[in-house]
Structure 1
Amino acid sequence: MSTADSQPRTQQPMHVFDVYARSEQGRILHFDVILPVNDPERALASARTWLQSIGHENASVQAENCAFCHTEAETPPQFEEEIRERGYAIYKMEGCPR
């Protein structure tokens, strides 16, 4: 088996969107959405889907609070499985449940 076969790393660029959402209680949730495509609408939809999955279905997140930040040359290893399973990954920052 070659080295390439033993390492299922995704060697494609990943696009990072910086997101700020406000919970029903007024708390700010700050996180990144990481996508294999540079698509602001998909980033916003992914942010909303993730918020619903953590019990914040009524959180407010608008397009102006979901901004393209930068592109990574390849998929960060810690996000590969999440991107394979959901099509996006979340990097939690301020106010997000751990």
Structure 2
Amino acid sequence: MKVAVWDTYVTKTDGAQMHFDIIVPEDLKDESKIYAFGKAYLHLKQQGQQPLTTKECQFCHVEQASEEMQQAIQEKGYFIVEMEGCL
């Protein structure tokens, strides 16, 4: 399965930066849906009030999905790769 990687940088409420990737099926092009996935993740991290727009989140590349990614996409439509500042 090929997936699209959306590179995302969000400034947290304490001023620190979060960097994470939103992984979605390659054929998903609806940016509002992709941003909604990112907002759901931010809500889980108590950062739901932070903006998530084209300024913070942009398409990066397409890659082959791991089994973990595929399973998450089948269950909830997306997968998050935490890069930095996500704890």
User: Of the two structures, which has the highest relative contact order with CA contacts closer than 8 Å and spacing of 6 or more?
Assistant: 2
Q: Which residue pairs with 1:20 in the alignment?
A: 9
The one of 82, 86, 94 aligned to 2:84: 94
- Look up the match of 1:61: 52
Cα deviation per residue 1:34-77 (whole Å; 9 max; x = unaligned)?
001233322211111110022211223222221000011x3212
| Distance in 2 of aligned mates of 1:53 and 1:33 | 14
- Three-state SS of the structure 2 residue aligned to 1:67 is strand
Kindly name which structure, 1 or 2, has the bigger radius of gyration based on alpha carbons.
Answer: 1
Q: Aligned letter for 1:84? A: Q
| Count of aligned pairs | 85
| CA distance in structure 2 between the aligned counterparts of 1:38 and 1:70, rounded to whole angstroms | 13
- Cα RMSD between the aligned structures? 1.4
Q: Percent identity?
A: 31
1:30 aligns with 2:23: no
CA distance in 1, matches of 2:46, 2:13: 11
**Which amino acid in structure 2 is aligned with residue 64 of structure 1?**
K
Give the secondary structure class of the aligned counterpart of 1:42.
helix
User: Is the strand fraction higher in 1 or 2?
Assistant: 2
* Structure 1 runs not aligned, ≥5 long: 1-11
Out of 49, 66, 83, which is 1:76 matched to?
A: 66
Structure 2, unmatched stretches of 5+, are: none
Residue of structure 2 in register with 1:5 after alignment: none
Partner secondary structure for residue 65 of structure 2: coil
